[in-house]
Amino acid sequence: MALLQTVQLEHLPQSHSIHIALYRNLQNAAFLQQQLLEGNTDYEYALIDASVIVSKIHALAAVYRAVNDLLANRLRSRNVHSEIVFSLSPNNNISESFRRFGIQPTTTSLLLIKVSTPTSETSPSDLSSRLSTQIQGDAVPFTDEEIGTMTDLGRVRKIYKLNVPGGGGKKKDGNTAEERREMEMLILGAMALRGATN
Amino acid sequence: METPTVPPEPIVSQTSSTPANLPQILTYPSKTPPQLITQGAEALLYKSTYLLPTLPCALKYRPSKPYRHPILDVRLTKHRILAEARVLVKCRKEGVPVPAVYALDESKGWLCIEWIEGEVVRIRLNEWLRRRKEAGTEEGSEEEELVDLMGRIGSAVGKMHGVGIVHGDLTTSNLMLRPWAKGVMNGHSSEDGKGILEGEIVLIDFGLASQSTADEDRAVDLYVLERAFGSTHPRAESLLKEMLTAYGKSFKGANVVLKKLEDVRMRGRKRSMLG
């Protein structure tokens, strides 16, 4: 499957490469969620509901934070993959973050991320063949265009509290490319401030 | 995006800073090496990239201070990184033109923010004043461009004050002129040679900023900016009233601040200790 992308993020060790696959028309969401709940290590991926993702940068920022926290030995959740899902959250409630951003039985668009680490190396070819049997859905390229068609903007605005009372600045409907970019900027800020105390 | 086939060059050897001062994350590979932009008393500023080679960012790094007690040092650094990030996020959310926050690691002492294109007002203004002098234009004439710039500065500062933030270090080095985005030129010219004072004002360096709606704090912000103009661009000083006029219209309560500014001018930035 040629649609699996492998990315090397800026300013992360080369030993930690990121594999990403995006699917629409997902058929086995309930089964996949069950594997996560049971802790089935064959399914150790970040399984994200793509409808709450606005762009590549949005998703990659969560990966960056999770891997950075992994390297600093301060994961708050079970592993780097659950940490990616948690990193999308603007607050510290882990189980809420799984409900909001993680795969649900009703999920139809799935963003799957696998981090290759020195202790658990994953090659693109192995992963690719594994995914082709594990995931029942239509693989599509991981691009802003594809993600854009899946986004539920209303839900994203609600989760990240992007409706500023009284307007404040410009309208942030996310309908034009510029508004969408501004939305992405605000989301990155909300994610970065998660867990900020004192 | 594919995995790079050639491993990037070691970064440390290519930067102008000493390796000891490079934050750990910048020692991990990137397509282009980080570049030290400026160094202040508290922080180092690097230009680098975030996530993808195509996304430039500014990375502000507060190295630990050897003369401080280690526990205090970590606490101060954490506190300052988070305070700055909170202020930036709040400004951005309320539509004040500031860099967006990309990521941070308060324990490691870095803050990664949006890279703003353009140049600081100090440089552009000096260049403009120099050119005018060379052209032999009399002071006080052909100043529409400058008047317009002063107005934009006043509005930007007012917008920030209006959302409850004071900057704490307003100088012409902390005001950027970012080229107008396509489509929002609204009548501004941008031909070469002309328009070096053109661009959108973006406020930067919130390292000393705080959340405050006190007229006193706001007035001190304006006073510091006035003094900065006075000392670095005395020939632009006469146009400060243009800035204050724009400020006065920028938010409800701005006129009270301008009144307060008169008091501050009389006594200076520091409040009298004599009650």
Mutate to test the interface with B, among A8, A73, A125, A170 (most CBs of B within 10 A): A8
Domains of chain B by range and CATH? Answer: 12-114 (3.30.200.20), 119-267 (1.10.510.10)
Q: Taking CA atoms, what residue in A is nearest to B251? A: A168
Work out the burial of residue A47: count CB atoms within 10 Å of its CB; fewer than 13 is exposed, 13-18 middle, 19 or more buried. Answer: buried
Q: Answer whether B82 sits within 8 Å of A192, measured CB to CB.
A: no
DSSP letter for each residue of B174-241: SEEEEPPPTT--TT----TTS-TT-SEEEE---TT-EE---HHHHHHHHHHHHHHHHHH-GGGGGGHH
> Which chain B residues are within 8 Å of A9, Cβ to Cβ?
51-52
Query: Could you list the active site residues of B?
Result: 169
Residue-wise pLDDT tens digits, A187-196: 999 999 998 8
User: Kindly report the CA angle at A61 between A37 and B38, in degrees rounded to 5?
Assistant: 150
Q: Taking CA atoms, what residue in B is nearest to A18? A: B3
Q: Answer whether A196 sits within 8 Å of B52, measured CB to CB.
A: no
**Interface contact B7, partner A, CB < 8 A:** yes
pLDDT value of position B108? 94
Q: Answer whether A186 sits within 8 Å of B100, measured CB to CB.
A: yes
> Which chain A residues are within 8 Å of B104, Cβ to Cβ?
192-193
Q: Taking CA atoms, what residue in B is nearest to A168? A: B94
Mutate to test the interface with B, among A6, A11, A178 (most CBs of B within 10 A): A11
Q: Which of A10, A190, A192 sits opposite B52 (nearest CB)?
A: A10
How many Cβ atoms sit within 10 Å of the Cβ of residue B168?
A: 18
Residue-wise pLDDT tens digits, B165-180: 999 999 999 999 999 9
Q: Taking CA atoms, what residue in B is nearest to A60? A: B51
pLDDT tens across the length of chain B (275 residues): 444 454 444 444 444 444 557 888 898 988 888 999 999 888 999 999 999 999 999 999 999 999 999 999 999 999 999 999 999 999 999 999 999 999 999 999 999 999 999 999 999 999 998 888 888 777 666 688 899 999 999 999 999 999 999 999 999 999 999 999 765 555 554 444 458 999 999 999 999 999 999 999 999 999 999 998 888 887 777 789 999 999 999 999 999 999 999 999 998 777 655 55
Residue-wise pLDDT tens digits, B14-36: 444 445 578 888 989 888 889 99
DSSP bridge pairs for A5: A20
Residues 29-88 of A with CB under 8 A from B: 56-57, 60-61, 64-65, 68, 72
Q: Which of B52, B78, B94 sits opposite A169 (nearest CB)?
A: B94
Sequence-distant (≥ 6) Cβ neighbours of residue B111 within 8 angstroms: B59, B60, B81, B84, B85, B101, B104
Question: CB pairs below 8 Å between A and B: how many?
Answer: 105
- Compute and round to an integer the Cα radius of gyration of chain B: 20
Question: What token pair was written down for A47?
Answer: 């399984």
> Which chain B residues are within 8 Å of A13, Cβ to Cβ?
28-29
- Average pLDDT per block of 10 residues along chain A, 198 residues long: 86 96 97 96 97 98 97 95 98 96 98 96 94 96 96 96 60 73 97 85
Q: Which of B1, B29, B82 sits opposite A198 (nearest CB)?
A: B82
Q: Which of A7, A170, A193 sits opposite B89 (nearest CB)?
A: A193
How many Cβ atoms sit within 10 Å of the Cβ of residue A49?
A: 25
Report the gap between the CA of A189 and the closest CA in chain B (Å). Answer: 5
CA distances to B6, B7, B110 from B13, rounded to whole Å, are 17, 15, 21
Q: Which of B2, B51, B88 sits opposite A61 (nearest CB)?
A: B51
Residue B48 near residue B60, CB atoms below 8 Å: no
Domains of chain A by range and CATH? Answer: 5-151 (3.30.2380.10)
CA distances to A68, A91, A151 from A111, rounded to whole Å, are 20, 21, 12
Sequence-distant (≥ 6) Cβ neighbours of residue B25 within 8 angstroms: A11, A68, B105, B108, B110
Q: Taking CA atoms, what residue in A is nearest to B28? A: A11
Give the integer Cα–Cα distance in Å for B224 and B230: 10
**Interface contact B54, partner A, CB < 8 A:** no
Give the ipTM. 0.94
Mutate to test the interface with B, among A188, A191, A197 (most CBs of B within 10 A): A188
Sequence-distant (≥ 6) Cβ neighbours of residue A73 within 8 angstroms: none
